[in-house]
Structure 1
């Protein structure tokens, strides 16, 4: 019989990542800087650097922020009747703040999803090497 690997619940892994915690134990910090993932979890020692989040978190953040900030601007025409000196800072400041708050959380959720699905850098390198042959 083949040994089944331990289950990794997707929801729990996503929530732990969103909380900027290790998806394996939920205790250790995921980042050592704003978006720099720890090489290993300080609490359990799990290798966190193996999950290739790359550009996905930025795309998801743009999608979410676009719906939260830009969509109301397009939908609510009374906003464009206000002075430009009110509309521009009233748009750019929330846009920047929401983006900066969401990006590390979404990146953590992506790392949690990759953890739950067991996707690692080595897997991507293998698939890329297979395509080249």
Structure 2
């Protein structure tokens, strides 16, 4: 086991680690306990992940990507080939479902990595680190209470 980083991991690295199903902080522990259930904490570094709020963003992103890819493939196949209707009705739904299910978990992991990198929704503290003075989870969970965005405080 490598030594845990004492600073927050960068945005791209955190999202990449989440995309492959690893802890956004250390990159060693697994982020998912089941298909879409995020573990309460990392096995390797102890980062608490139970407070993440991925909510609806991963399905929206997956729908956006899959719809564009499948739509393009359907358009190209219909314009360039004489595809029987029964083939189209049997192939495209299966390919769409396989792509959506295959992308959903990696995209959710990347969203959790994004939240970690930006310090959102309870990710303000690192494992074993003390919280910064004046930075509380309540401000991160409810932006705009004091009229300012929590990401752009001086």
TM-score after normalising by structure 1: 0.84
Q: Which runs of 5+ in 2 are unaligned?
A: 1-5, 123-136, 147-154
Say whether the 8 Å CA contact 2:23–2:31 is kept in structure 1: yes
Matched, 1:22 2:23: yes
The count of aligned residue pairs is: 126
1:1-133 map, 5 Å: 6-78=7-79, 81-120=82-121, 122=137, 123=139, 125-127=141-143, 130=145
Say whether the 8 Å CA contact 1:21–1:30 is kept in structure 2: yes
Say whether the 8 Å CA contact 1:40–1:49 is kept in structure 2: yes
Tell me which protein shows more helix as a share of its residues: 1
State the match for 2:126 in structure 1.
none
TM-score after normalising by structure 2: 0.73
| Structure with the larger RCO, 1 or 2 (CA within 8 Å, 6+ apart) | 1
In structure 2, the CA distance between the partners of 1:98 and 1:13, relative to structure 1 (3 Å rule), is same
Q: Distance in 1 between matches of 2:79 and 2:91?
A: 14
> 1:27 is paired with a residue of what secondary structure?
coil
Q: Distance in 1 between matches of 2:43 and 2:34?
A: 14
> 1:127 is paired with a residue of what secondary structure?
coil
Q: Which runs of 5+ in 1 are unaligned?
A: none
Post-superposition offset of 1:67? 1.6
